[in-house]
Amino acid sequence: MENTAYRKELERLIGTEGLVTEELCKGGSARRFFRISDSDKQKSLVLSLTNDKAEFRYYVLFADYFEKKGIRVPHFYASFPDDGAVIMEDAGSVSLYDLALKSDSDERIRIYIRVLEMLAVMQEAGFDGCPALEERPFDFASLKWESDYFSEFFLGQHCGIRSVPDSVKEEFLLIAETLSALPMKPMHRDFQSQNIFIKDFEPVFIDFQGARPGNIFYDAASLICDPYVMLGEDERSRLFSEFFSIIERGGFSEGREYAERMFSFASVSRLMQALGAYANLGLNKGKKAFLAHIKPGIESLGMALDGVTELTALDRFIKELKKTLL
């Protein structure tokens, strides 16, 4: 960070030249994050760096928009487009992932309900005032990409399956067609426990640069069926009930049975994407730790498929696959 504009701004904001730098780990992200603090670690900020200028643009625009709409995201103090750098509020070191693993079931439910309530604020924020948020809709092509990604990296590379039955491919298309036909509202797109921090007892959303228009079920499914935190079936059921109550209060009128069906479809799509990502990151990107998430991922996918009568071919296919993987 020597002789950079953002270093000077960090010194101005923190109020000292004796800066302490700590690199923060960030899963599958290509960006790098650094916690910058004074020598006594009484004051800290976070520096984000990326070479992806398109991603940088979305990151800055969405941070401003979400903050104005009352969605808790880190405040951005300064941005430097030429350097791909952002100086932002430090959201702390306690993620939802951390809390979920050390909390009992009742405490987890309370925390997750608050996260779902804040998610509803994001979904109801709309798009007025942020045209960039509408530029990349989570449409049929995006949803089809998720099953293609799953097929290529998880089924193909990880499992060695080169040919997927036609009946399963037809159900991949059904998932994409069904979800892409739903009304679109703002979605985070990677709404899982490691992208949500808890600061001052409130959820803070990070990694929102992938936000776009999408259906209201996908983010909730990403959270509740997150393989990083294997919630029990009772917990998932309770949280779905809370989610349904929230969207019903917000005007959803299609009924619980329909909501359960859409939630299941969204869960299956999200989990296929996650399994594809774990395999790709672990096998091709040198991040082998992600391979450990494949077992809970395939278990979660099996749970999501239980009772979904329209996806029986995929359900049978995954049940057979689990016999060799687990």
**pLDDT reported for residue 298:** 97
Considering Cα of 156, then 160, then 162, then 163, what sign does the dihedral take? negative
Q: What is the pTM of this model?
A: 0.95
What is the tens place of the pLDDT at every residue in 89-130?
999 999 999 999 999 999 999 999 999 999 999 999 999 999
Please report, rounded to a whole number, the percentage of residues in the chain having pLDDT higher than 70: 98
Tokens read off for 12:
């101005």
pLDDT over 70 at 154, yes or no? yes
What is the tens place of the pLDDT at every residue in 57-82?
999 999 999 999 999 999 999 999 99
**pLDDT reported for residue 3:** 55
Q: How far apart are CA 82 and CA 46, in angstroms?
A: 18
Q: How far is CA 151 from CA 35, 144, 228, 275, in A?
A: 38, 11, 21, 10
**pLDDT reported for residue 15:** 83
Compute how many other C-beta atoms are within 10 angstroms of the C-beta atom of residue 8: 12
Average pLDDT, the chain: 95
pLDDT over 90 at 325, yes or no? no
pLDDT over 80 at 27, yes or no? no
pLDDT over 90 at 1, yes or no? no
Q: How far apart are CA 148 and CA 273, in angstroms?
A: 9
Nearest Cα neighbor of 167 from 324, 318, 288, 44 is: 318
Nearest Cα neighbor of 269 from 324, 187, 160, 325 is: 187
pLDDT over 70 at 17, yes or no? no
SS3 93: coil
Least confident of 35-44, 242-251, 268-277, 300-309: 35-44
Are 122 and 223 in contact, with CB atoms under 8 Å apart?
no
**pLDDT reported for residue 313:** 97
Compute how many other C-beta atoms are within 10 angstroms of the C-beta atom of residue 37: 21
**pLDDT reported for residue 224:** 98
